[in-house]
Amino acid sequence: MIAKGFSVNQLAGFLAQTDGPPEAPTFQQGSYFFPVQASTFAADSDWLYYFIFWVCAVFFAGIVGAMVYLVIKYRRRPGVDPEPSSSHNTPLEIAWSVLPSLLLILMFKWGAEGYFDQQVPFDDAEVIRVKAKQYDWLFEYENGDFSGELHLTQFKNYEFRLESADVLHSFFVPAFRQKQDIVPGRYTKTWLKPIKTGVFRLYCAEYCGDNHSNMKTNVIVHLTDKERLAATAWDWAGKKVDVKGRIENGQRLFSIKCAGCHSMSGKRMTGPNLNGRWGIDEQFDDGQVIKVDENYVRESILEPQKNIVATFGPPNQNMPSFKGELNDDQIDWIIEYIKSMGAKATDATPK
């Protein structure tokens, strides 16, 4: 079941090191046309795809064959007048209008049935709240855990309640053959049942702005609930007692809430890289200089539009305010984490 080269331990290590959108782990190979079939919908949907594909292939081959044959057979030859032939043949024309329609009815029927399956979740489904914002995903589970990657357990039903904080997004996991737009101002819903363990790509499928193509994350399907719970569990309160724990808390929060736009690897993303910025004097578009300290980081989180680092100002000011979304403790952890990354670019491990 589990793909070669993939283990949950590796995955845990991989998660711990993550900042920013993770580099692609080894994804399982699917067929030539499709990614691996990892949900209950996939096989049905693919089967229908291939059915249509072969119907089309037969028709297209017929068209090409007829065309080539006719063009050669009836090519213009000097001195040869075309034979007279009828200008229309109503029964024939009606036949080739109506007969293919029967195939269309089949396609419609199967397509609609598959769609019904996709619309009606089981009652026992766990509801996962998916919060999309430019350019980040946040998944909240029924037990209160949350994560930046989607963790599921194989063979369990999940219902997703999708909401967007800003513009249109779309929840799309190719391996699950499921896609649902996320519309700000209302909830949309979808459900699925994963049938394969492994790591799969989750994309934003509706254009949402500058960094649309980076608004992707991974879906990790675990073999057991235990693994799934272990992957998302985090002892926030237990860790906050010492500095090291607070930094770890901060790092985890950062990877979930901030890493969509801020890297710790030195790479310029939508927002500035935050590795090695602690304590330095930051230049601003209006010429003033502010030292990056606790107060500035706090202000940037709560009132991001107030002082924007040079070259990140208008018209690029994308950062939303996290007022109400992060509490004082959480802001403190993030400050601790950024602080731990020091004043000059280092590798992405906390000191």
Partner 1 sequence: MTTIANRQELFGHTPDKNYYTASKGFLSWALTLDHKRIGIMYLIGVSAAFFLAGIFALVLRTELLTGTGVFLSEKQYNQMFTLHGAIMVFAFIIPSIPAALGNFVLPMMLGAKDVAFPRLNLCSFYLWVFGTLFLLIAMLTSGLDTGWTFYAPYSIRTSTAVTYATMGAFILGFSSIFTGLNFLVTVNTMRPPGMGWFQLPLFIWALYATAIIQILATPVLGITLLLLIAERTLHIAIFDPALGGDPVLFQHFFWFYSHPAVYIMILPGMGVISELISVHSRKEIFGYKFIAFSSVAIAFLGFLVWGHHMFTSGQSVVMNMVFSAITFTVAVPSAVKVFNWLGTLYKGSIALTTPMCYALAFILLFGVGGLTGLFLSTISVDRHLHDTYFIVAHFHFVMVGGTLTALLGGLFHWWPKITGRMYNETLGRLSAFLVFSGFNLTFLPQFVMGSRGMMRRYARYDPEFKVFHQWSTFGAFVLGFGVLLAYAVLLYAMKRGKPVAGNPWGAASLEWQSSSPPSFHNFDHKVVMNEPYDFSTQVYDAELDSYVHRRFLEPSKPTTQPQHS
Partner 2 sequence: MTATELAESAHDEHAHHSHGEFIAHHFDSAEQQYDSGKLGIWLFLVTEILFFSGLFCAYTLYRSHHPEIFVQASTFLDKRLGGLNTIVLLFSSLTMALAVRSAQLVERKKVIVYLVLTMVCAAVFLGIKAVEYSHKWDEGIFVRAYFNLHEHVGHGISKYLILISVPFLVLLVGSVIAAFTYRSLGKQHLFVFFISLAIMFGGYFLGAVGGKVYMNWKTARDAQLAAASIDHSASTTDEHSSAESHDAATPTTKHVAASDAAVVPKANEDADHGPAHLDQDIGIFFSIYYCMTGLHAFHVIGGMIALSWLLYRSILGHWRADYYGPVDFVGLYWHLVDLIWIFLFPLLYLIN
Tell me, what amino acid is at 124? D
CA distance 256 to 248: 13
Among 320, 342, 345, 346, binds partner 2 (CB under 8 A): 320
The least CB distance from residue 203 to partner 1, in Å, is 5
The least distance separating partner 1 from the CB of residue 62, rounded to whole angstroms, comes to 9
Euclidean distance between CA atoms 70 and 64, whole angstroms: 10
CB 205 within 8 A of CB 132: no
Q: What is the DSSP string of 231-249?
A: HH---HHHHTTSHHHHHHH
Return d(Cα 318, Cα 65) in angstroms, integer.
55
Does 185 contact partner 2 by CB under 8 A? yes
Choose from partner 1, partner 2, none: what does 351 bind? Cβ within 5-8 Å by kind.
none
Nearer to partner 1, 184 or 279 (CB): 184
Taking Cα atoms as reference points, which of 311, 332, 317, 149 lies closest to residue 228?
A: 149
CB 290 → partner 2: shortest distance, Å? 24
- Among candidates 213, 204, 174, 231, which has minimal Cα distance to 36? 174
By a kind-dependent CB cut-off of 5 to 8 A, residue 61 interacts, out of partner 1, partner 2, none, with none
CA distance 205 to 183: 12
- The partner in contact with residue 321, picked from partner 2, partner 1, none with C-beta cut-offs of 5 to 8 angstroms by kind, is partner 2
Q: Which of 166, 181, 282, 294 binds partner 2 (CB under 8 A)?
A: 166
List, edge to edge, every strand of the sheet that includes 150-153.
150-153, 216-222, 198-204, 169-173, 178-182
Partner from partner 1, partner 2, none contacting 100, C-beta within 5 to 8 A by type: partner 1
Cβ proximity of 171 and 187 under 8 Å:
no
Q: Two tokens at 21? A: 């959108």
Nearest-approach distance from CB 167 to partner 2, in angstroms: 8
Q: Which does 4 bind (CB under 5 to 8 A by kind): partner 2, partner 1, none?
A: none
* Least Cβ distance, residue 252 to partner 1 (angstroms): 25
Among partner 2, partner 1, none, what binds residue 5 when CB lies within 5 to 8 Å by partner kind? none
Please state the closest distance from residue 165 (CB atom) to partner 2, in A: 5
Which C-beta is closer to partner 1: that of 167 or that of 348?
167
Q: Which helix (H) or strand (E) holds 96?
A: helix 90-119
Q: Identify which of residues 295 and 317 has a Cβ nearer to partner 1 in the complex.
A: 317
**What does the binding site for partner 2 look like in residue numbers (CB under 8 A)?**
165-166, 184-185, 320-321
